[in-house]
Each structure stands twice: as structure tokens, then as C-alpha cells.
Amino acid sequence: MGKIAFVFPGQGAQHAGMGKEFYERSEKAREIFDLASKATGLDIPALCFEENEKLNETQYTQIAILACEAAILGAVWEAGLAADVSAGLSLGEYGALITSGVLDMETAFRVVRQRGIFMQEAVPTGGAMAAVIGMDGEQIRKICQETEGRVSVANYNCPGQVVITGEDTAVERAGMALKEAGARRVLPLKVSGPFHSPMLEGAGKKLAEVLKTVTVQAPVIPYVTNVTAEYVTEEEAIKELLAKQVASSVLWQQSVERMIADGVDTFVEIGPGKTLTGFLRKIDCSVKGFSIEKPEDLEKVLESRGNR
């Protein structure tokens, strides 16, 4: 039997009501939501479950998504399902850190609350992001380098979908050049800033200061980091990679390919939505992909694995 990977989505997957069914039906999930409230001083259930403006503000979005992911993870563990490796897209990497035993949940909640604040504060005026559809990632990277102004690749999501980030005028110029070079579509994204751009290096430096006060453990199971798409097995590199991640490209496609090469044949997406499961189908349709957002999703995964 092949390996199983737990993977966690990032910002953009949030929606009102996320995690509510687990909160209502799992005592473990309820405890974790309440722990997130205690760790941050926020009413996390209200933030996640009720229609509100804050859920789409970066400083609140990040902690809300992580709390939802951690609560579902707690219920998944309690049901007896475990991972061999883990990874997460951008913010989702903190779900992977919890899975791997690098950070305890309370510490992860505190760090991510600060990360969200720092990223919101660091957002410069005139930043933008756009999804480029139907073009090779390396070609996109080269065109960004040749474009006047600050524009770079934010995310390598899957074949045919790459996100660019930077100054709004540079992103617009790069978008025009990419269309001329053969990109099928360039879609501006509704985001509050140029995330995973060097323009956010200041937020990464502030996060590095917070991480100096935090204890990290050696991974109990390996996780794959966004920055290099390689396994992290020693604790020495973790803090530097997390600080760097804020302003670096997210190598998601490469991370998934790395796990598949290492024998992972089942990916379980934990958290709101099915974004990563959709990417997985485009990266390699021969491996299995499941998403767990509601208790019935967990039941389906357990049945497929013979746990029930």
C-alpha cells in the first residue's frame, strides 16, 4: 500500500460556515476551535460560522482557516486516520506543521494570528495578482523577469495554472505580454495585496522575530515546504523557511510531484473547499484525492481505507 499525505489549502478557500458541522458533531473539533479562541482572543466560531466582513480580511482569514483545518484534523486523528507525509499551500503549511508535530496547535494559532496581521500591514498600495491559464510555468517566469516593474510568480499551482504577483502596473504589463506569447487567459484575482511577492519581505522579517520566541520540534513525519518543494526533516531550517515563505513563490505543483515520486498515492485535503484536490487531478490523475470538509467526507475516506 502506498503512502498517504494530508494536505491543507491556503487563503482563498474560506467561506462562512466552514467547520461548523465538525464543531457541532465532534467534541475534539469543538475543543480545538475553543483553543484557537483562547490563543488569539478572538471568537473563532463566530468568525468561521457566521456571515461577516472580517472573514475576507487577511488578518482574520488566516487564523480562521487554520482553526478550521486544525479542528478537522483533530477529528480525523481521533477517527484513526494518520498521514505518512504532509504539506500545505501557503498558509496551509501551518496545518502541515501541526500534522508533523513541528508546532503544537496553540503555538501555531498564535503565530498565524501574527502572520496575518503582518501581511495585512505590509500590503503596499498598488499591488495585484493574476492567474495565468494555459502556459508553461518556466515561460511565465521568464516573461515576468523581462517585464518592467516588480512582477514575479506567486504560485505554481498545477499544469496550466500559475499565479503572478507584484505591482499592479507590472502585473498588467506582464499579463498583456503573456497573452501575446500564447497564454489562454490571464485573470485578475480579487485579493488585498501582492502575496508571495518580494514586496512582502518586511512581513517575513517581522514573522522571523516572532518565530525566534517559538519552540519548534523535529518533524515526527516529514513535510514538504513551499519554498523548495523538498522534505524538511530537521528543525534547524524550519523557522528560516517559514519567514522566507511569505515573500517566496509557492512551489505547489512541484511539492505534490515530490510526494508522488516518494510513493504517495493518496492525498487527503483537510479544510474548506476542494481546491487542492482539483489541482491534484491536473498534476497526476492516477493518484487518489479526497477532501474532508464535513463529517460525511471523513466517513467516505475511512470506508475507502477500510477503517470502518
Q: Is residue 193 assigned to a domain?
A: no
Q: Is residue 86 assigned to a domain?
A: yes
- On the question of pLDDT at 308 being above 70, the answer is no
The mean predicted confidence, pLDDT, of the chain is 95
Alpha-carbon distance of 97 to 79, in angstroms, equals 20
Residues 6+ apart with CB under 8 A from 108: 66, 70, 94, 97, 98
Q: What is the percentage of the chain residues whose pLDDT exceeds 70?
A: 99
Same domain, 98 and 220: yes
Same domain, 212 and 175: no
Confidence of residue 220 (pLDDT cuts 50, 70, 90): very high
Domain-ending residue, one of 142, 168, 188: 188
Same domain, 71 and 24: yes
Mean pLDDT of the 97-110 span: 98
Active-site residue, from 26, 86, 100, 196: 196
The pTM for the full model equals: 0.95
Alpha-carbon distance of 164 to 170, in angstroms, equals 10
Lowest mean pLDDT among 92-101, 232-241, 277-286: 232-241
Whether 196 is catalytic is yes
3-state percent breakdown (helix, strand, coil) of the chain, nearest 5: 50, 15, 30
Helical (H) or strand (E) element with 77: helix 58-78
Whether 197 is catalytic is no
C-alpha cell at 230: 523538498
Q: Is residue 276 assigned to a domain?
A: yes
Domain that holds residue 161: 127-188
C-alpha cell at 9: 489549502
Domain-ending residue, one of 143, 161, 188: 188
Mean pLDDT of the 266-287 span: 97
What are 161's strand-pairing partners? 133, 158
Active-site residue, from 26, 37, 86, 90: 90
Alpha-carbon distance of 240 to 208, in angstroms, equals 7
Q: pLDDT at position 165, please?
A: 97
Same domain, 111 and 70: yes
Same domain, 274 and 230: yes
- On the question of pLDDT at 229 being above 80, the answer is yes
Mean pLDDT of the 120-139 span: 91
